[in-house]
Structure 1
Amino acid sequence: MPNGPSLTAVLFAGGLVFVAGYAAGGGWALPREGVAQTPAPPPTGRSAATEQRSAPAGTGPAYPAELLHVNDGDTFEARVQIWPGMQVTTKVRLRGVDAPEKFGARCESEYRRAVAAEDALRRLLQAGGIVISRVAFDKYGGRVLADAATRETANVSEALLASGLARPYEGGRRGGWCSEAAR
């Protein structure tokens, strides 16, 4: 039986020391109590195409995005520029709307409406100049919740609502699309 600490205990303690030292040395910007944390602005002197675009007042930073795939009527996959030279690929769930589901549709009407909503979202996003803002983690993980705009559409969610292909959604349980009231 060894007299000293186990290898696991030594590695765990060493990891804690490393993390604490890295954070204290400025490796991470850890929030400090009572100090407001704001993101640093992008570096200046770069072209407008490589910098975060400005968003409407009160919405936080906006990020240029390249459409990769439309998943359904309220979700798309995009390559998002989070900082000059830094991109992430993520699924973006549109804030404030619920569109019918194509996969798992409970009736023919829901399926047809889902296809129409997906096609409408694709047309809106293919206008280009996509920018996402008010980005937050989605409740399901693996995607983000955000507002989206294009060079032709100031708010993609509002455009889908105006077309009747989506309905307002602020979280919680979503209703079905097969009843007369949903049509």
Structure 2
Amino acid sequence: MEVYVRIRGIDAPELRSKCLRIREAGLDAQHALEALTAKSRGIQLTRIAGDKYFGRIVADVKLLDGRSVADDLLLAGLVQTYDGGRKPREICPAD
């Protein structure tokens, strides 16, 4: 079974943004997540709940060594904190 998971507490740049720089930042976050999970023997989902959009679930995601995926991505500056509320309007950074 394949399940789409929103990581609780963070918001990554949109991969489908009209802005090239935002899409690139989204890819950077995606690649970092892939690298984190590839190095771990597994992941653990806790506090699983239904998400309000698209049939996903929202969960805390931890690596088997106990590290929080959200915390690692936040510390790397690849994502922002997110409390589930309304997101600010997307602004494309100047080149």
TM-score over 0.5 for the pair: yes
Percent identical residues: 37
Report the alpha carbon displacement of residue 159 of structure 1 after superposing the two structures with TM. Answer: 0.7
CA distance 1:162–1:153, change in 2 (3 Å): farther
Tell me if 1:112 matches 2:24. yes
Select the structure with the greater relative contact order (CA < 8 A; seq sep ≥ 6). 2
Structure 2 stretches of 5 or more lacking a match? Answer: none
Quick check: which has more Rg, 1 or 2?
Answer: 1
Q: 1:143 aligns with which of 56, 59, 63?
A: 56
Aligned length: 92
1-structure distance, mates of 2:91, 2:35? 22
Counterpart AA for 2:70: S
2-structure distance, mates of 1:96, 1:169? 5
C-alpha root-mean-square deviation of aligned residues, in Å? 1.8
Q: 2:37 aligns with which of 125, 137, 143?
A: 125
Q: Post-superposition, which runs of at least 4 consecutive aligned residues in structure 1 deviate over 4 A? A: none
2-structure distance, mates of 1:170, 1:110? 20
CA distance 1:115–1:177, change in 2 (3 Å): farther
Matches within 5 A, 1:23-102: 88-102=1-15
TM-score normalized by the length of structure 1 = 0.46
Which residue is 1:178 aligned to?
92
Higher alpha-carbon deviation: 152-161 or 127-136: 152-161
Report the alpha carbon displacement of residue 89 of structure 1 after superposing the two structures with TM. Answer: 3.1
Counterpart AA for 1:150: L
Counterpart AA for 2:57: V
User: 3-state DSSP class of the match of 1:90?
Assistant: coil
Structure 1 stretches of 5 or more lacking a match? Answer: 1-87
TM-score normalized by the length of structure 2 = 0.85
2-structure distance, mates of 1:143, 1:111? 21
1-structure distance, mates of 2:25, 2:66? 21
2-structure distance, mates of 1:129, 1:106? 34
Tell me if 1:167 matches 2:94. no
Report the alpha carbon displacement of residue 95 of structure 1 after superposing the two structures with TM. Answer: 0.1
